[in-house]
Amino acid sequence: MLLTGFGSGLAPRAPGTAGSVVAVLFWWWALSGLGVIAQGLVILGVFLLGIWLAERASKRFGVGDDPAIVIDEFAGQWLALLCAPASPVAVLAGFVLFRLFDIAKPWPVSVADQRVRGGLGVMLDDLLAGAYALGGMLLLRAAGWL
């Protein structure tokens, strides 16, 4: 259940996007009221748990970064929203930025995606995409657009 984002990764089309949508909903409901440090600790915990779970799934089922595994989208999406105000515009911006960087995979996201294996490889590229999106969110916020 955790690896598939409560089943969202089993969506027949765009499971990563489905996982990100569920991650955003969960953030809105459970994380948006927490401070930055508490959110950061949750993200770190999910990142480490994801590494462990993805590594176990890889060994047990012989899968790598299977599309159904979306715990990495949760960690990356939550990082993108780390400093976001709980407003629909900010959340939409964080969602779009994260999906953009997760799909486009600019350097070093692409390097992590292609060269890092195992549970760390599953999780790292999405966390890096989330870091890019967080940077974009901070720029939007500094410009007064969020």
* 14, amino acid identity: A
Residue 9 in domain: no
Residue 23 in domain: yes
How many structural domains is the chain composed of? 1
Residue 4 in domain: no
CA distance 41 to 27: 14
pLDDT at residue 75 in the model: 98
Segment 36-58, tens digit of pLDDT: 999 999 999 999 999 999 999 88
Residue 19 in domain: yes
Q: Provide the token pair at 15.
A: 């499971």
* 123, amino acid identity: M
Residue 121 in domain: yes
Mean pLDDT for the stretch of residues 111-138: 96
pLDDT band at 67 (very low <50, low <70, confident <90, very high): confident
Residue 137 in domain: yes
Mean pLDDT for the stretch of residues 126-134: 98
pLDDT band at 127 (very low <50, low <70, confident <90, very high): very high
Residue 34 in domain: yes
Phi and psi (nearest 5°) for 115? -115, -20
| Nearest partner of 19 among 101, 82, 76, judged by Cα | 76
CA distance 124 to 84: 22
Segment 75-85, tens digit of pLDDT: 999 999 999 99
Neighbours of 114 (CB within 10 A): 11
Neighbours of 115 (CB within 10 A): 11
- Domain containing 74: what range? 14-142
Q: What is the pTM of this model?
A: 0.95
pLDDT at residue 58 in the model: 81
Residue 84 in domain: yes
Task: Say yes or no to pLDDT of 65 above 80.
Answer: no
pLDDT at residue 119 in the model: 93
